[in-house]
Structure 1
Amino acid sequence: MTPERNSTVTLHPDFAGTWDIDPAHSRIGFQSRHAMVAKVRGAFNSVTGSVRFDGDAPSDAAIEVRVDMASVDTRNADRDQHLRGADFFDVETYPEMVFVSTAVDEVEENSFIVTGDLTIRDVTRHISIPLEMLGLETDPFGQQRAGFEGSRRIDRKEFGVSWNTPLDSGGVLVSDKVTLEFELSLVKRREG
């Protein structure tokens, strides 16, 4: 069910402008089941992107996020190397994961559904991501910051990431369902 667009919602005036993802304080992570019994968590250490608010409504936002797939980090060098290879991300051929928004709707106060196109391994799928705004503050250096977090489960096989190994029990080594985790700190660009 698609949430109804609320055209009467207006954003705080401080949102107008362009915001950049602060890579030092942001995380795009993931978790997946391994051998059907444990969770493996990881993150991408190189994330860039921006959010542009041209108007005073959430629907006026334009979001683009780029993830350097070679920056994958699961705290295990051998596993990370395997993820970078052709079995999984094939970073030599497909160096980036990209998300570009097509719609932003506020469904409750400070809760948004961001819909857009996610591209992994040159396969693009239209997805919706629920995000919660954690706050809007000015830091000690005079920069305006906004924090958002959320998660979305995807089927990795829909993006051409289908490598697996069967287990004796009938299960598989790596689950098809992967939860993407978004913890984003945005810094407003200073105009002029």
Structure 2
Amino acid sequence: MTTTSGLADLTGDYVLDPAHTRIGFVARHAMVTKVRGAFHAFEGSAHLDGTDPSRSSGQVVIKTESIDTGVEQRDQHLRANDFLDAPAFPEITFRSTAVEARSDSEYRVTGDLTVKDTTRSVTIDFEYTGNAVDPYGNLRVGLEGSVTISRKDYGVTWNAALEGGGVLVGDKVVLEFDISAIKQK
């Protein structure tokens, strides 16, 4: 693998590589531990402008049904009406509205996140982790980012009280993005 030099070389249109991209989440369970999971079916694209990052944009469409925490019973509950209601709301979407360069490797991406027909603006801090030309001649770029949201802001309000106080599912959810994107020719 070789790397390109200069962000201007990166300007172009990209698609997410689902085999090497992870869209995950972390939520507090029973006030004492964290449950981690991911969505396995998604597609996304981006336009990167290496000369003027503010002219960059991106969007992701996630298939709600693809949620996976490694426990099928829990996953079925998360797909049900108590949480994501996958039959009624089959997609979670993110569409950028602004990109701001914070440094040569840090970018702040603001956009509209839609979950269960509720759209709210979120800002995700991304780190540019590098680029490489793969063995097939594809230019790839890597980005990592995360944002914490309130699930209640998106109408995901189900919970159960714990006998000793507190609740079964925490309100805050960390969304995690480990992205490998391939430049389109």
Q: Is the TM-score greater than 0.5? A: yes
Structure 2 residue runs of 5 or longer lacking an equivalent are 1-5
Offset of residue 55 of structure 1: 7.1
1:35 to 2:27 alignment: no
5 Å matches for 1:1-192?
12-53=7-48, 56-190=51-185
Preserved CA contact (<8 Å) 2:149 2:173? yes
Q: Secondary structure at the match of 1:166?
A: coil
1:108 aligns to what SS in structure 2?
Answer: coil
TM-score where L is the length of structure 1: 0.91
- Moved runs in structure 1, 4+ residues, more than 2 A? 53-56
Deviation at 1:150, TM superposition (A): 1.2
Distance 2:42 2:20 in 1: 10
* 8 Å CA contact 2:8, 2:49 repeated in 1: no
Q: For residues 145-183 of structure 1, what are the alpha-carbon distances to aligned partners after superposition, in whole Å with 9 as ceiling and x for unaligned?
A: 000001111000000000000001220000000111110
Any conservation in 1 of the 2:10–2:49 contact (CA below 8 Å)? no
Q: SS in structure 1 opposite 2:170?
A: coil
Distance 1:103 1:121 in 2: 23
| TM-score, scaled to structure 2 | 0.94
State the SS of the aligned residue for 1:142.
Answer: coil
For the residue of structure 2 that corresponds to 1:23, the secondary structure is coil
For these two proteins, the number of residue pairs brought into alignment is 180
Alignment RMSD (CA, Å): 1.1
- Offset from partner CA, 1:112-133 (integer Å, 9 cap, x none): 0000100000000001000000
Q: Percent identity?
A: 49
